[in-house]
Amino acid sequence: MPAYLRSPILYVLPTLLLAAGLVNAQDRPIVLKAGTVLDGKGQILHNTIIVVEDGKIARIGGVAPQGAGTYDLAGLTVTPGWIDTHAHVFWHFHDGRLSSVGIEHLPPIRGVAGKDESPSQALLYAVDNAIVTLNAGFTTIQSPGSPEEKDLRDAIARGIIPGPRMLTSLEPLTEQSGPPEKLRELVRERKQQGADFIKLFASKSIREGGAQTMTDEHLRAACGEAKSLGLRTLVHAHSAESAKAATLAGCTTIEHGAYVTDEVFDLMAKHGTYYDPNIGLVLQNYLENKEKFLGIGNYNEQGFAFMEKGKAIVLDTFKKALKHKDLKIVYGTDAVAGAHGRNYEEFIVRVRDGGQEPMAALASATSVSAESLGLQDKIGSIAPGLDADIVAMDGNPLQDVTAVRRVVFVMKGGKVFENLAPGTRRKGAQ
Ligand SMILES: [Zn+2]
């Protein structure tokens, strides 16, 4: 009999707690009984309790407080809520084709795809995506980005719509945004508009070979201005040259980096520049859903042929990156239409195919990503004082990484959003 079936309290309690309104109440403490806890920073705890009060982790261990509501997670593995540093929550399909709403960086697509879709339909697809992403165990995502994301971010933050905590760049900047002075102005404008960070496109897509597009001067202007305003910068950069230029310009994170060399990884490690490899979900998802993208923008046969080859290229680059022990690797999937709610696949490819230690992959998706967002004092580990973003899965990912597909308990900010019997199938994402 699997361990979870020996914990009948897991099934019974949620109903009782919901009936009593306890799940949403912040006045009574909540106790999570945990058999195995991976704290997100490399520590393993056994047979302990996590006490949650006012949406935060109050303490770990000791005696359960009187009158607390209890969730028995003893047969599961408990970790901090996961962070996806690169998930395009608005991207979705409408009538079996890619919609243009919420797509940031592909101007030819705007007005071409998803023509007969209403704004409310588009928004509700994004809500679907937010919900399946949260239910999959991701309590924080960073979406880079489109103007539509702001209202969704704010509604989730108000507690109206279930979804991961969201950070957005709003509209990204590209080589077409203007000369350096104009870029500085646009960075200031994004901050005023409420962007959490700045997204830059410094190279072409992998479908087009990934050559540098923004000049070194563009990058210095944009990343320099952002830094002076306290904003982080995420840079789409495939070629080694573009990643090097972004690193030297003081940008925060390199996204994708398919063709980054050992020399540039060394430079990134030296500068503390984060690397976000996206090897496990985005290309696989494009190939699985080819007919829904084909013929739109640069999603042509040549582009798909490039993506097919790209899977091996990004995997090799990731293996190369792992050898640079000081390089900080964050966990982003680049989830687009069709991929939401499967953000955990990145874990599996990293560990199974890339050779990353499961504990390192978990730290990447929790404490390292939290640090890259500047949120290490709020999320990314199971420690007193942090927000109670906690997930539990059926199985132990240190022994079987596919356990990450079986998240059955999701708490964000002390509120339980999911508590399912293991094996229950979720609806797929749009
Ligand atoms: Zn992206």
In the three-class reduction of DSSP (H, G, I as helix; E, B as strand; rest coil), residue 111 is classed as coil
- pLDDT for 319 equals 98
What spacing in Å lies between the alpha carbon of 336 and ligand 1's midpoint?
A: 7
Cα of 143 from ligand 1 centre, angstroms: 8
Sort 150 into a burial class: Cβ within 10 Å, 0-12 / 13-18 / 19+: middle
Interval 360-413: pLDDT, tens:
999 999 999 999 999 999 999 999 999 999 999 999 999 999 999 999 999 999
CA 86–ligand 1 middle distance (angstroms): 6
Q: What percent of the chain has pLDDT over 70?
A: 89
**Can you tell me the mean pLDDT for 274-296?**
96
421 — pLDDT class (breaks 50, 70, 90)? low
Q: What Cα–Cα distance (Å) separates residue 342 from each residue in 34, 299, 376?
A: 25, 22, 24
| pLDDT for residue 114 | 56
Q: What's the CA gap between 131 and 127, in Å, rounded?
A: 6
Higher pLDDT, 405 or 24: 405
What 8-state DSSP symbol labels residue 53? E
pLDDT score recorded for residue 105: 52
Q: Where are the alpha helices (DSSP H) in 216-329?
A: 216-228, 240-248, 262-271, 282-288, 290-293, 301-322
Copy the structure tokens of residue 174. 């590209």
**d(CA 117, ligand 1 centre) in Å:** 22
Looking at residue 102, its pLDDT comes to: 72
| pLDDT above 60 for 428 | no
Please report the pLDDT score of residue 26 as a whole number.
52
Q: Which residues contact 392 (CB under 8 A, 6 or more apart)?
A: 32, 34, 73, 76, 77, 78, 79, 407, 408, 409
pLDDT for position 115: 61
User: pTM for this structure?
Assistant: 0.91
Q: Taking residues 26-49, what's their average pLDDT?
A: 94
- Determine how β-strand 44-53 pairs with β-strand 56-60: antiparallel
CA pair distance 70, 72, nearest whole angstrom: 6
Beta-carbon contacts of residue 171 (< 8 Å; ≥ 6 apart) = 104, 145, 146, 147, 190
Q: How far is the CA of 337 from the centre of ligand 1 (A)?
A: 11
Q: Which of 40-49, 110-119, 125-134, 347-356 has the lowest mean pLDDT?
A: 110-119
Average pLDDT value for residue range 16-43: 75
399: Cβ contacts below 8 Å, ≥ 6 apart: none
Look at residue 220 and give its three-state secondary structure.
helix
The residues whose Cβ lies within 5 A of ligand 1, an ion, are: 334
CA of residue 21 to ligand 1 center, whole Å? 39
Question: Which domains, and CATH codes, for the chain?
Answer: 3-80+379-419 (2.30.40.10), 82-372 (3.20.20.140)
CB 200, CB 223: distance < 8 Å: yes
Separation between Cα atoms, residue 81 and residue 136, nearest integer Å: 10
State yes or no: pLDDT of 155 exceeds 80: yes
Per mean pLDDT, which range of 61-70, 93-102, 225-234 is the poorest? Answer: 93-102
